């Protein structure tokens, strides 16, 4: 695709309906760590695989031990200027659908309405046996009641509501079962090695087919489940604008790539387009 020297405000004005694809970079300023650094390098060790979680009780103990403390950071996080800017852009009628790879629900809390949580949501759990949902608030209370010793430990926050915790108590963790059927609960997120449900992918593809541009914000696009939408946009010959402080896998496909002060420039460009009075009436 032809490279452009035109600016972000020009593109935001020109395109009538965007599909927006966001990633961890959008939530970094809310204190939720990203997965990869600016060079696309992986920052995390050994993420749990879907299969391990499903097949092994001890892996589940490990997951919940870490998640029980990591969740408190996600739960306490509040939306930042990036989330509010994208919500304002939607209210201005410029966004068809916002696809997020984040599981923190901060876009919704900032007022975005048409959001697809591509990789699920951390604020609830789902039963692998009967499909019942339980809010994370309720499950967290049950986890803590079963394991009152856990919050005493110091931890280091990781993406996805994960946290580094000492090894010594992992095997002591007692995991609550599904309240409907006694089955196995899993956070309602797509783990590594898991698959995004097909109907959800189709909703995203439909959005791109209706849109006149794809705006990527704060994602390295290293993961295929997000990257594929760039491929689709390329196929439809709609412009791809990327606002990300680091390298992305789709830099070659982008019509415009903003990397220096990326997030500040996005917020400024939306400010220019949407009068601030409109932005406040959420």
Site for ligand APR in 100-119 (CB under 6 A): 101, 119
What is the SS3 assignment for 71? Answer: helix
Least Å distance, CB 141 to Zn ion, is 18
Q: Is 263 in the site for ligand APR (CB under 6 A)?
A: yes
Q: What is the DSSP letter of 6?
A: -
Q: Is 245 in the site for ligand APR (CB under 6 A)?
A: yes
- Measure the CA–CA gap between 107 and 22, rounded to whole angstroms: 10
Lookup: tokens for 242: 């990327």
Least Å distance, CB 155 to Zn ion, is 29
**Residue 218's binding partner out of Zn ion, ligand APR, none, with CB under 5 to 8 Å set by partner kind:** ligand APR
**Residue 180's binding partner out of Zn ion, ligand APR, none, with CB under 5 to 8 Å set by partner kind:** Zn ion
Q: Is 157 in the site for Zn ion (CB under 5 A)?
A: no
Q: For ligand APR, which stretch binds (CB under 6 A), given 3-11, 131-139, 243-251, 264-272?
A: 243-251
Least Å distance, CB 117 to ligand APR, is 10
To the question of whether residue 127 is assigned a binding role by annotation, the answer is yes
In the block, residue with structure tokens 């990397």: 259
Which of 9, 40, 47, 183 touches Zn ion by CB under 5 A?
183
Q: Is 83 a known active-site residue?
A: no
Q: For ligand APR, which stretch binds (CB under 6 A), given 36-44, 134-142, 165-173, 175-183?
A: 36-44
- DSSP code per residue over 182-206: S--EEEEE--BT----HHHHHHHHH
Q: How far is CA 238 from CA 7, 89, 213, 219, 244, in A?
A: 17, 19, 5, 19, 19
DSSP 3-state percent helix, strand, coil across the chain (nearest 5): 45, 20, 40
Query: Do residues 159 and 92 touch, judged by C-beta distance below 8 A?
Result: no
Q: Is 23 in the site for ligand APR (CB under 6 A)?
A: yes
Query: Measuring CA to CA, which residue among 250, 201, 197 is closest to residue 222?
Result: 250
**Residue 282's binding partner out of ligand APR, Zn ion, none, with CB under 5 to 8 Å set by partner kind:** none
In the block, residue with structure tokens 């966004």: 95
Catalytic residue from among 119, 133, 155, 236: 119
Q: For ligand APR, which stretch binds (CB under 6 A), given 33-41, 127-135, 227-235, 249-257?
A: 33-41
**Residue 181's binding partner out of ligand APR, Zn ion, none, with CB under 5 to 8 Å set by partner kind:** Zn ion
Lookup: tokens for 128: 């692998």
What is the SS3 assignment for 105? Answer: coil
Query: Residue 165, exposed/middle/buried by CB under 10 A (0-12, 13-18, 19+)?
Result: buried
**Residue 220's binding partner out of ligand APR, Zn ion, none, with CB under 5 to 8 Å set by partner kind:** ligand APR
- Measure the CA–CA gap between 179 and 261, rounded to whole angstroms: 47
52 C-beta neighbours (distance < 10 Å), count? 17
Q: Is 213 in the site for ligand APR (CB under 6 A)?
A: no
Residue 90 or residue 245: which is nearer to ligand APR going by CB?
Answer: 245
Catalytic residues: 119
**Residue numbers belonging to the annotated binding site for Zn(2+):** 127, 130, 178, 181
Contacts to ligand APR by CB under 6 A = 23-25, 28-29, 34-38, 101, 119, 218-223, 226, 244-246, 262-263
């Amino acid at each position: 695709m032809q490279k452009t020297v035109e600016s972000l405000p020009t593109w935001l004005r020109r395109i009538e309906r965007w599909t927006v694809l966001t990633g961890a970079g959008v939530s970094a300023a809310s204190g939720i760590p990203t997965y990869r650094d600016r060079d696309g390098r992986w920052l995390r060790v050994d993420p749990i695989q879907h299969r391990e979680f499903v097949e092994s009780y001890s892996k589940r103990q490990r997951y919940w031990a870490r998640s029980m403390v990591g969740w408190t950071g996600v739960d306490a996080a509040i939306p930042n200027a990036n989330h509010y800017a994208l919500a304002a852009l939607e209210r201005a009628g410029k966004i068809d659908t916002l696809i997020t790879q984040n599981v923190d629900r901060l876009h919704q809390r900032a007022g975005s309405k048409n959001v697809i949580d591509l990789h699920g949501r951390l604020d609830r759990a789902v039963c692998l046996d009967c499909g019942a949902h339980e809010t994370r608030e309720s499950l967290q209370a049950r986890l803590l009641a079963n394991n009152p010793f856990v919050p005493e430990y110091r931890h280091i926050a990781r993406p996805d509501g994960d946290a580094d915790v000492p090894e010594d108590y992992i095997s002591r963790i007692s995991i609550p079962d599904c309240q409907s059927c006694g089955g196995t609960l899993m956070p309602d997120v797509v783990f590594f090695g898991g698959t995004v449900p097909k109907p959800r992918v189709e909703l995203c593809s439909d959005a791109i087919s209706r849109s006149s541009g794809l705006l990527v914000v704060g994602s390295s696009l290293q993961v295929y489940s997000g990257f594929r939408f760039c491929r689709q946009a390329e196929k439809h010959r709609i412009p791809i604008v990327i606002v990300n402080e680091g390298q992305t896998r789709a830099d070659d496909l982008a019509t415009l790539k903003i990397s220096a002060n990326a997030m500040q420039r996005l917020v400024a460009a939306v400010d220019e387009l949407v009068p601030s009075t409109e932005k406040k009436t959420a």
